[in-house]
Homo-oligomer: A and B are copies of this chain.
Amino acid sequence: MAQKYTTREEDYSKWYNELVGRADLAEHSDVKGCMVIKPYGFAIWEKMKDVLDQKFKETGHSNAYFPIFIPKRLFEAEEKNAEGFAKECAVVTHYRLKTDPDNKGKLMVDPEAKLEEELIVRPTSEAIIWNTYKKWIQSYRDLPILINQWANVVRWEMRTRIFLRTAEFLWQEGHTAHATREEAIEETEKMCDVYAEFAENYMAMPVIKGLKTESERFAGADETYCIEAMMQDGKALQAGTSHFLGQNFAKAFDVKFSSKEGSLDYVWATSWGVSTRLMGALIMTHSDDEGLVLPPKLAPIQVVAVPIYRSEEELSAISEKFDFVRKELAARGISFKFDDDDNRRPGWKFAEYEAKGVPVRLAMGARDLENGKIEVVRRDTKEKVQIDFDQVIEHIVFLMDDIQNSLLERAKIFRTENMHKVDSYEEFKTRLEAEGGFFLAHWDGTAETEEKIKEETKATIRCIPLDQEPEEGVCMYSGKPSKGRVIFAKAY
């Protein structure tokens, strides 16, 4: 690894971009704003997807699939939602190409194949789904509908960054329909909890559950629940959202049901989603200057083994030992890679697997073999130990848990250290610039104040935390009364 990489200290943003490349996660494509997710990056996403999918099913949801295109007339039905996404829509206007008569071998859009009605590439699917639910819902017996879909969506972003903000991204979107307001709110909260639990227990990323302010809400929602995570540079990243949509979409698409009592009511709705953005959150929560750091539960390769040898005999004897390790780990569901590639030196491999965030690295040479020892290095702390070979399996099993837990603990401590209570706007501004992090401050509840603070400091209200004691106070900006603190931070 002759190449010199940028450190987090030097330039966090550049460090991130380089890391995405050096860990072989993804790259920019030649399509403006769209990324290619490479096999190693996709394997991490697949792990996330599998866990989430299981959690959705355990909470009663089924997967389905709805069209990628939304006819303009459906798209504009829920006005707030349409307005919110109109400025970033990819629009299909034609359905055919033809040979360009003026350019040999080139094609042109066939002007005769213009669509009567333009199609929007879905930026989110409420419109097409509620237009479908209309046909599925007549009575309370048809409710609830609990559906999720894994899909690609397109939001035309001008300034893109891999995983964090791309024109096309992969996500899941849950869309549920309920007979009562209470049941829909319960669902909204439940899915916010599912996301928080996933973030903490699998991504080892502590999150704050909260409500968005009106100006930060999903376009078309009555209430947006979110999970907010703190990145290593102190900035916030919205990692998942769960929306209580009220009856807004039911009204826009005229979806009514006859209740048990015989009345005809509009249906209540929720939607909730997480996306490949979680990859960015995962990277920026744990990684270091040597590369990616992965929690074991999401690592495509959990243990890698590198033989150090000078002869075929040595390699063969070491391979035999690692073969034992492979079998024992397989029986315990721990993924293992033995890298005996002869074209690369051990040092190169060490750096490579460090960059890729493999949680545990094993190495064994001729002397280890003689002494019945093995070298074990954990990626999170880089701690290196020489242990008896006959203890290695037990030690790896311990490390899987210990690394997972330590990463969460470390992230929690970091967050605590960078969470500040402030009461004066001056202090807020100074510390925001000097230290960054999350600021718990009183706010008067108006969009006006929120907007002014954003203009002056670039910090936004990330959420109104759900778990907090009520506390009377005065808005740090306007001095008007406030009933509780909210979280201000700069955000991705």
A interface list, Cβ under 8 A from B: 27, 29-31, 34-39, 42-43, 46, 62-72, 74-76, 79, 82, 86-99, 105-107, 109, 118-121, 128, 131-132, 135, 141, 147, 151-152, 154, 156, 168, 170, 343
Contacts and interface: CB of A to CB of B under 8 A. Distances in A.
Given A79-B105, A106-B76, A64 B36 contact: yes
B109 A93 contact: yes
A74 B30 contact: yes
Contacts of A75: 97, 107
A459 B170 CA distance: 41
Number of copies: 2
A76 B98 CA distance: 11
A298 to B, nearest CB: 16
Contacts of A27: 132, 135
A132 B36 contact: yes
Contacts of A88: 95-96
B97 A87 contact: yes
A95 B91 contact: yes
25 contacts: A29-B66, A30-B71, A30-B74, A34-B67, A36-B66, A42-B63, A43-B62, A43-B63, A67-B168, A68-B154, A69-B168, A82-B97, A86-B97, A87-B98, A88-B96, A90-B119, A91-B92, A91-B96, A91-B109, A92-B92, A93-B93, A95-B156, A96-B156, A109-B118, A152-B152
Given A31-B70, A92-B121, A62 B42 contact: yes
A237 B207 CA distance: 51
Q: Is the interface of A mostly helix, strand, loop or mixed?
A: mixed
B94 A91 contact: yes
B96 A86 contact: yes
Contacts of A91: 92-97, 109
A89 B79 contact: no
A29 to B, nearest CB: 5
A42 B30 contact: no
